Amino acid sequence: EVQLVASGGGLARAGGSLTLSCAASGFSFADYNIAWFRQAPGKEREGVSIIRNSDGHTYYADSVKGRFAISSDNVKKTVYLEMNSLNPEDTAIYYCAAAPRRYGLAFTIALYDYWGQGTQVIVSS
């Protein structure tokens, strides 16, 4: 059974940090890219960051570049999103998702085969 389990969300103050985790199982981890998306109330889901598990190559949305860092532990089959310098605009439900690596590092939602359940991040001012 394929599973992506996202965790680590919570409440943070502006300027603070949180680290999200996405634990994967049931598929070939190295053959997939793992991305984090987020969806704020009343807004469309947007891509945040992607990592290609086969070689660790990463990609970030401009809105988080320099503040967020994505990493992967291929032994634990877990992807992390370290979020620093948080601001209220980062408030959203964060989802991890997996897409076959042949598609490259893209935030196109239709490319992602598997999705986690989401974890809520709230940043207070």
Distance from C-alpha of 124 to C-alpha of 121, rounded to nearest angstrom: 10
List, in order, residues 6 or more apart from 113 with CB less than 8 Å away: 32, 98, 99, 100
pLDDT digits (tens, 9 = 90+) for 77-107: 999 999 999 999 999 999 999 999 999 999 9
Tell me the pLDDT tens digit for each residue of 24-64: 999 999 999 999 999 999 999 999 999 999 999 999 999 99
